[in-house]
Amino acid sequence: MLRIRNLEAGYGVLKILRRISLHVSPGEIVAIIGANGAGKTTLLRTISGLLRSSTGEILFRETDIRRVPAEKIVSLGCSLVPEGRQVFATMTVRENLLLGAFVQAKRGLRSEIDEDMERIFGYFPVLRERDSQLAGTLSGGEQQMLAIGRALMARPKLIMMDEPSMGLAPLVVRHIFQIVSRLREEGNTVLLVEQNARSALAIADRGYVLETGRIILQESAEDLLANRDVQRAYLGRDLDA
């Protein structure tokens, strides 16, 4: 589904990612964990086309997407749920979801859009209740549900999530991770970036530990959960310490 080889990227002269190599197979949940500043968000921004890499290879479904525009990457089947939700505050819940379906809208697939809207409301019933409410007036948890729903409206083959549990109440976090597990059961593939290592690895198949822009460890989720360094990361201790 996704294969990255020797990827390097950053901002101007500041190099963040250093020779990153990883893969995600169809139907997997793969977690990427690490401390603040490790490069997790930079990695997802680079895969999604929001940031250009300086070198390396990004293959998505056997297509090299390293120089492909972000909107084209979405149309190929790769969607990002960004860190901080980034919903359109002055637009309604429904309008935000419809923006996620721009690929189907361009193709005139109205019935698919209606079907997908119902599917999202099935995942997150509260969004149906807030259908005509401005996104900026939603709670943090509701905004996160909306951000996930908006990404799913594009019918992605791979959905990437950047810190979906950040700043949310435990009950909301539990529900969101249940939905992530359900997505895999329904045949979707998920690349999950999380500081909450225990919650992420509890539902993941495999995981990578990212430290100062480098992959320092890759193992099954079960093995990573038993790793003392990963346990310290979950407890909030800097992996660089």
d(CA 92, CA 134): 4
Summary mean pLDDT of the chain = 91
For the chain, how many helices (H) and strands (E)?
11, 10
How far apart, in whole angstroms, are the C-alpha atoms of residue 110 and residue 212? 45
Which residues in the chain are classed under CATH 3.40.50.300?
1-77+156-241
Question: What class, spelled out in words, does domain 1-77+156-241 have in CATH?
Answer: alpha beta
Count of beta carbons in the 10 Å neighbourhood of residue 40:
24
Per-residue pLDDT reduced to its tens digit, 88-138: 999 999 999 999 998 877 777 778 899 999 999 999 999 999 999 999 999
pLDDT at 233: 60
Q: How confident is the model at residue 148 (pLDDT cuts 50, 70, 90)?
A: very high
Contact predicate 121/127, CB 8 Å: yes
In the chain, what percentage of residues exceed pLDDT 90?
80
Residue 238, pLDDT > 50, answer no
pLDDT in tens, 152-168: 999 999 999 999 999 89
